[in-house]
Structure 1
Amino acid sequence: MGRVTALLGAGTQGRRLAYMWSSQGRAVHLIDAQEKQLSDSLKYIDGLRDASQRTDARWGDIKTFTPDSLRAALQDTWLIVECVPEKLELKRQVLAQLDELAPKDAIIASNSSSHSITEIIEGLSLSNARRVLSAHTYWPPETSAIELMGHANTDPGIIPLLMEQCREHGFSPFHVKRDSMGYIYNRIWAAIKREALLTAAEGVATPSEIDAIFKDVLKTPKGPFEQMDVVGLDVVLNIEEHYAEKRPDIPEEPRKYLHRFVRDGQLGVKSGQGFYSYSKP
């Protein structure tokens, strides 16, 4: 079916996106520097396909590539999504390289969760910045939301095309109509996390009490502190610091509160201790 979808990065997001974008017969090229990451991804995708309840699925071929054959991997692509680690300079380098090597009419998207496409491409000399945008996902296929956000000069015709293609491939697309740090959901979730941290920092209630009332009222499986432990408190702190750089009105108490945990190596689930204790890292 038509042209190829390419995904740069075969980590948690890349392999899940490969599963989604191959669900309607379209070929997918999965690119990563680590051969083991690529082979593990293929096994993981096979597991998702075996467990899939989708009756409309027509699974396309998935081919793997390493960066030394990047030009070949990008051949005949209509969409390229970068899923490299959340480091701004790395993403800027990758976007510049993709712009240089990709077919001139291919759409280039960033899956960044904390950097807008405006921030990523600022100062870059791209051959065609109009085909570049953000396409941020959460945890497909379980969480199917995808947020599409362009920059001031993104070709307006790209958004409806991607909205349609995303729906066909099992996503629930949302158009972020203005540049927004945190897109839609993460922006709202950041405010919830920040206020929960401030409530604890002020001694109004403990993390476990805040989680308990949160779950009781909203009927969610996890409270904000439980969720932050899963994400990693060092990651949560980095995100908060990034917000604070852009928005001077954000209070510093939540960051100070988080810093105490990070300083002591209490990073959440991955370290065995965060706001809660865990049996093993």
Structure 2
Amino acid sequence: MAGIRTIGVIGAGTMGNGIAHVSARAGLRVLLYDVDNTALYRGLDTIRANMAREVAKQKLTVEEAEEARSRIVLTTSLDDLVPAELVIEAATERFAVKSEIFRGLDRLLPAGAVLASNTSSISITKLAAVTKRPGQVIGMHFFNPVPVMQLVEVIRGLQTTQETLDMVHALAVRLGKTPVEVNDAAGFVSNRVLMPLINEAAYAVMEGVATAEAVDKVFVLGMAHPMGPLTLADFIGLDVCVDIMRVLAEGLGDPKYNPCPLLVRMVDAGWLGRKSRRGFYTYS
């Protein structure tokens, strides 16, 4: 496993194209899959733009960027992922979607391949249970923007083997990241702590305690956060925040994790944050 050369990435959206970017930059051949050709080419355009920024900042040479891009293969056929020694799933944060992907990959890939999920809250143990290789299922939770953020939360399911954990730890280091191992629990560490903060910030707005701008200013100026919780919620996607809160509520069995009604209403209205150009703030 130490000599991993080819990885698959499921999903060419924000997280998937970021994972493909850092993997190709680290010298890996990347098989980038999406059901939609348009999404694939949009993801590749994002990778090109981000690598151009790295060239401008002298983090990469023009030649290194071109070589990295040449290592990315686009596909809309899961069959093309067969050569991958590890596949990282970066699909919608819904168990039904992810479990179907894992069942398909389990049937398709060679017995030695490892299945990783970029999930930010869903149980790795539960995902592993839909496969016949639960020891080779693990969480690799990257953070947005992937080419910039240092952390990878490595989530060990109940049956994840030490060999799988060691391989993924080494891969994260190879990608220039700092892996932090956590055990499998709803929301892991990052979102178990972050999402209730965002939820309470939304309640403060809903209950008229303060405006979104005021809430964010308190955290930026008073707690030295680089951005306030509601700006961050818009960046993550309000729909993603609601999905994660529901996973926390179900997984931890405590109603305090239910999503704030204001967040739910905003998602129902299609106000998802930056990606829809409207959330707690309006974006041009």
Same-fold status (TM-score > 0.5): yes
Q: Which residue is equivalent to 2:89?
A: 82
- Note the 1:182-193 alignment, pairs <5 A: 182-193=187-198
After superposing the two structures, state which structure 1 stretch, 80-89 or 206-215, moved more.
Answer: 206-215
1:111 touches 1:137 (CA, 8 Å); kept in 2? yes
1:108 to 1:279, Cα distance in 2 relative to 1, 3 A: closer
Amino acid at match of 1:255: C
**1:103 paired to 2:110:** yes
Structure 1 CA distance for aligned equivalents of residues 43 and 28 of structure 2 = 17
Q: Which residue is equivalent to 2:81?
A: 73
1:148 touches 1:175 (CA, 8 Å); kept in 2? yes
1:6 touches 1:79 (CA, 8 Å); kept in 2? yes
Structure 2 CA distance for aligned equivalents of residues 84 and 254 of structure 1 = 21
Q: Pick one of 31, 44, 52 that aligns with 2:46.
A: 44
1:198 touches 1:254 (CA, 8 Å); kept in 2? no
3-state SS of 2:121 partner: coil
2:125 touches 2:157 (CA, 8 Å); kept in 1? yes
Deviation for aligned residue 1:269: 4.1
1:157 to 1:196, Cα distance in 2 relative to 1, 3 A: same
Structure 1 CA distance for aligned equivalents of residues 166 and 126 of structure 2 = 23
2:187 touches 2:244 (CA, 8 Å); kept in 1? no
Q: Which residue is equivalent to 1:207?
A: 212
Render the CA deviation track for 1:202-244: whole Å, top value 9, x for unaligned: 5444433222111111223421122223334343233222322
Q: Pick one of 251, 257, 261 that aligns with 1:246.
A: 251
Structure 2 CA distance for aligned equivalents of residues 257 and 275 of structure 1 = 10
Q: Which residue is equivalent to 1:61?
A: 71
1:108 touches 1:133 (CA, 8 Å); kept in 2? yes
Deviation for aligned residue 1:8: 1.7
**1:162 paired to 2:164:** no
Q: Pick one of 25, 28, 31 that aligns with 2:27.
A: 25
Structure 2 CA distance for aligned equivalents of residues 42 and 234 of structure 1 = 24
Q: Which residue is equivalent to 2:238?
A: 233
Render the CA deviation track for 1:8-33: whole Å, top value 9, x for unaligned: 22222221111111223221111122
3-state SS of 1:227 partner: helix
Identity %: 29
Q: Pick one of 91, 96, 99 that aligns with 1:92.
A: 99
Q: Which residue is equivalent to 1:118?
A: 125
- May I ask how many residue pairs the two structures share in their alignment? 273
Deviation for aligned residue 1:262: 4.3
2:242 touches 2:264 (CA, 8 Å); kept in 1? yes
TM-score (norm: length of structure 1): 0.84
1:29 touches 1:64 (CA, 8 Å); kept in 2? yes
Structure 2 CA distance for aligned equivalents of residues 43 and 254 of structure 1 = 34
Deviation for aligned residue 1:92: 0.6
1:179 to 1:220, Cα distance in 2 relative to 1, 3 A: same
3-state SS of 2:256 partner: coil
1:198 touches 1:253 (CA, 8 Å); kept in 2? no
After superposing the two structures, state which structure 1 stretch, 31-40 or 143-152, moved more.
Answer: 31-40
Relative to its length, the structure with more helix (as a share) is: 2
RMSD: 2.7
Amino acid at match of 2:17: R
Render the CA deviation track for 1:133-190: whole Å, top value 9, x for unaligned: 11111121111311111211111122122212211221221111x2122222222111
After superposing the two structures, state which structure 1 stretch, 192-201 or 222-231, moved more.
Answer: 192-201
Q: Which runs of 5+ in 1 are unaligned?
A: none
Structure 2 CA distance for aligned equivalents of residues 43 and 148 of structure 1 = 28
3-state SS of 1:92 partner: helix
Structure 1 CA distance for aligned equivalents of residues 147 and 262 of structure 2 = 34
Q: Which runs of 5+ in 2 are unaligned?
A: none
* Structure index of larger Rg: 1
3-state SS of 1:251 partner: helix
Q: Which residue is equivalent to 1:8?
A: 10
TM-score (norm: length of structure 2): 0.84
Q: Which residue is equivalent to 1:275?
A: 280
Q: Which residue is equivalent to 2:186?
A: 181
